[in-house]
Every structure is written in C-alpha cells, then in structure tokens.
Amino acid sequence: MSRVCNFAAGPAKLPDQILMKAQKEFMNYQGLGYGVMEMSHRSPEFTAILTNAQQNLRELMKVPDNYKILFLQGGGTGQFSAVPLNLLKRKKADYIPTGMWSVKAAKEGLKYGTTREVFTKGSKYTSIPHPDTWTMDPEAEYVFYCANETINGVEFQYVPETNGIPLVCDMSSNFLSRPVDVSKFGLIFAGAQKNIGCAGVTVVIVRDDLIGHALTECPIIFDYKQQAASNSVYNTPPCYSIYIMGLVFDWIKENGGVDQMEEWSIAKSNLIFDMIDNSNNFFSCPIDKDARSRMNIPFRIGGAAGNEELEKEFVAEALSRGMAALKGHRTVGGLRASLYNATTVEETRKLACFMKEFQDRHEGNVKVSATITQKSVHSSQLTNGSSKATCNGLANGHTNGHTNGHTNGVART
Ligand SMILES: Cc1ncc(COP(=O)(O)O)c(C=O)c1O
C-alpha cells in the first residue's frame, strides 16, 4: 500500500503509527473481543480512554487546575454558538475579525446578543492590524479571536491583550502546534480533525468561573456546567473520535511534546516560505509576513492574481508524484499547503523541491501579473529552525524514502 503526502486542510493527515494501532485494535480492543466503536461509553475501558486523553492533554498544555477539559460534539461551528450561549448573558462581546472563521463566529454570536468587530475588516484577510488600532469595549463579556485562520492562512504570533476581559480562542487549526500559556485564556476550543485526530470531537478548555452562566435556551449538550459535571458523558460522546484523539496525544508525548511540534512546524513552514520568497515572484503568498500561518500556507503561481492554468497543472502534477490536496480553498483560489503536526519535514521538503523544479521548468514562459508588497517580519520565530530546501537527490521530486512518521523520518538540517 502506498500512502501519499497529504497536505489537506482538514480533515487531515494522521500519523501512520496511529492508524496502524487503531487498525490493530479495531475489532478487538485489548483482548475484550470487541472494538472501541462497539464499547459502552460508561464502561471502565472507555472511561480509562477518556480520562487518559484528558490527563495527557492537561500535561501537554500544562492546563492549570482551575480549568475543565471537555470533549464535546458539534465541531468548531458548534462552539461559535456554545460560546455566546454560555458566556454572553445577553450582553455584548468583541470579536477580532482576521478571517472567515472569526467573522462567522461573530455573526453566529449576534443571535444571542451584540457582537462587535474591533476593527473594520477589509475585503480580503491578509494581515492582522496592529492592536493599537483596535477599539475594545471595556464592558464586553469576552473577546473572541481565531488563532489561525485556516482558509486565509493568517496566524497570530502573540496572544492579544484584553485587560482582564475573558479571552476566547478558536484554536481549531493550530492546537498543539506551539506552546501556549493557558492561563491567559478564559476559554480555548479546537475541533480535532486538523492537528489532533479525526472529525467528531471538539476540545473545550474552560476556566471554572466561566462555567454556570448559560442562557436558559442553551441546549443542554452545549451547557458547559452540565458537561463538566458529567465529565463530557452527559449523553453518548463521540467515543471513537475521543479514542483516536487520545492516540494522537500519546504520539505527541512520545515525540517530544508541544515544543518538538513547534520546532518541526517552524522547519516545515520555513521550507515552503523560503521557496516562495526566493522564487523571483514565480510563487507568491498574499499574507503579511508577520501574520503568516505555519499551518496553512496559501500561495499563487505567476503573481498576485495567479495563473489558473499553471496552478491546475501544479496540483495535477503534484498528485501524480504522490502529493495530494494542494488546491486552495474555493473562496480564495490558488494553492494551499497545510502542514499540520502529522506532516513530516521530509514530506514538506518533497513539496518544496517539487515547487523548485516546477518553477525551473515554467518560469521562462510565465508573465508575473503583479507583485505583492508585504510588511517585513517582526517575529523572530519565523526565522528559526531549518529552512533550506536541500533538493540534492530529489531532483525529480521523489524523496529517497517516504516515511511513516517523524521519529524515523525527519531529515534534520
Ligand atoms: C479555524 C476554524 N474554526 C472553525 C472551523 C469549523 O469547524 P467544524 O467544521 O468542525 O465546525 C474550522 C473548520 O475548518 C476552522 O478551520
């Protein structure tokens, strides 16, 4: 069986070791004679799976004791409703509109109170305006932001200051890819299907004082108080998704924890950004350098407007060489490479080398439409880590060994 390098934005790649372990246990979990999918959610075995996952996540993120960890259903979109239903108390909240997900969240919040955007958003999401330009309401119940806008490729390199107002963060697409100080947040949520598992479960980490204020019309399965009191088993939880997520937490622990995930993430994103920045505008990324996402990199071929013919050719040829899902989001166009935790440095290098080779073959024939002016990098993080796409021996776009994971597969530079 050959697996491709999967650069999908989500649901996304899972480490091979996890899929193989799940396959092994699929019909017979630890000698029980049946699998996790067939197991009672109130059995001691499933309770152990859930408790282990919670404990490992608490350890990985150093979650303080005054926060509950909930595993809920409804996805990130469910939390766009659950957050105001639990926190808004019919009053007002501020939203930081850096991309399509935060804007969707603000719109959903309007059903339950007043949600206000802290700056006037432009027609495209390619930057994060400086916090000095935001107008924050000191009476807001919470401030909501999305740490990484998956569609637009905009990622915060810092945690916004809210001067005591609870900070709510959608971390769906960069969860566990970098260390965060949980104590700066009132609530963090993340759907599992990008960095930590498969679709079906959403992690909510919520500070104790924000629990117990749900509006009366809040559906009981979204009521943080009910879910905290029943340890996420008020009703049947997404058992199999929780099991897979638990395997991902084990895998992250075994591979050096969040610090190692970040190191790989810096190395991987630098490989692609270096290729783009040194391509003489053959490739371009529309995002300001200080807001570039390490997780989702949107890019175009042939200048800012893109050359759609060539982009189609790029996607098709990449696929024929074992690199899938590089087409950009339908609302943005162009190309997008998603580099979640499970994607290896070696797979990313293969993509970078293919980009180089593609450029060498086509650049003479392409008229670059317009260049993009960007702000310079402020974050030193963007320049750390390995960054040179060494394509020696990879001239045809083939790696010298497709790898199953990080531990035995990462070529460090
Ligand atoms: C940052 C972000 N937030 C929210 C969502 C919505 O998640 P879901 O599809 O699980 O509702 C997504 C989905 O891609 C996302 O990327």
Task: Identify the pLDDT of residue 390.
Answer: 61
State mean pLDDT over 182-187.
Answer: 98
Task: Give the span between the Cα atoms of 270 and 255, in whole angstroms.
Answer: 21
CA distance 98 to 130: 11
Q: Give residue 287's pLDDT.
A: 97
Distance 138 CA to ligand 1 centre (A): 28
**CATH architecture of the domain with range 16-254:** 3-Layer(aba) Sandwich (3.40)
Classify domain 257-363 at the CATH class level: alpha beta
- Quick one: which of 303, 296, 371, 277 has its CA closest to 336? 296
- Could you identify the atom of ligand 1 that is nearest to the CA of residue 191? 10
Residue 405 has pLDDT above 90, yes or no: no
Of 37, 54, 405, 39, the closest CA to residue 245 belongs to 54
Ligand 1 binding residues, C-beta < 6 A: 10, 75-77, 101, 146, 150, 170, 172-173, 191
How many angstroms separate the CA atoms of 209 and 215, rounded?
Answer: 15
Residues 152/125, Cβ–Cβ less than 8 Å: yes
Distance 281 CA to ligand 1 centre (A): 31
Average pLDDT of the chain is 91
Question: What is the whole-number distance in angstroms between the Cα of residue 348 and the centre of ligand 1?
Answer: 23
- The b-or-e profile of 290-314 (16+ CB within 10 A means b, else e) is bbbbbbbbbbbbbbbebbeebbeeb
Q: How far is the CA of 10 from the centre of ligand 1 (A)?
A: 9
Give dist(CA 31, CA 245) in Å, integer: 21
Q: What is the mean pLDDT of residues 329-349?
A: 96
Residue nearest to atom 5 of ligand 1 (CA): 76
* pLDDT value, residue 371: 59
Q: For residue 274, what pLDDT is reported?
A: 98
Q: Determine the pLDDT at residue 367.
A: 73
pLDDT at 368: 73
Catalytic residue among 68, 94, 101, 264: 101
Q: How far is 325 from 7, CA to CA, in rounded Å? A: 5
Domain ranges of the chain: 16-254, 257-363
| Minimum CA distance residue for ligand 1 atom 12 | 76
Distance (Å, rounded) from C-alpha 389 to C-alpha 351? 9
The per-residue pLDDT for range 129-176, each reduced to its tens digit, is 999 999 999 999 999 999 999 999 999 999 999 999 999 999 999 999
- 222-229: average pLDDT: 98
Q: How far is the CA of 186 from the centre of ligand 1 (A)?
A: 20
360 classed as catalytic: no
Nearest CA, atom 13, ligand 1: 76
Query: Residue for token digits 């916090």?
Result: 131
Confidence of residue 2 (pLDDT cuts 50, 70, 90): confident
pLDDT tens digits for 4-17? 999 999 999 999 99
> Is residue 409 predicted with pLDDT exceeding 60?
no
Please confirm, yes or no, whether 288 is among the known catalytic residues: no
Tens of pLDDT, residue by residue over 121-139, are 988 899 999 999 999 999 9
pLDDT band at 398 (very low <50, low <70, confident <90, very high): very low
Q: What percent of the chain has pLDDT over 90?
A: 85
Q: Is 170 a catalytic residue?
A: yes
Percent of the chain at pLDDT > 70 equals 89
Q: Which residue's alpha carbon is at the smallest distance from atom 2 of ligand 1?
A: 172
Provide the pLDDT for residue 219: 98
Mean of pLDDT values over 41-62:
98
Provide mean pLDDT across the span 95-104.
Answer: 98
CA–CA separation, 70 vs 228, rounded Å? 7
- The answer, yes or no, to whether residue 225 has pLDDT greater than 70, is yes
Query: In the structure encoding, which two tokens stand for residue 240, read together?
Result: 């199999």
* pLDDT tens digit sequence for 361-395: 999 877 776 655 555 443 333 333 344 456 754 43
Q: Is the pLDDT of residue 270 over 60?
A: yes
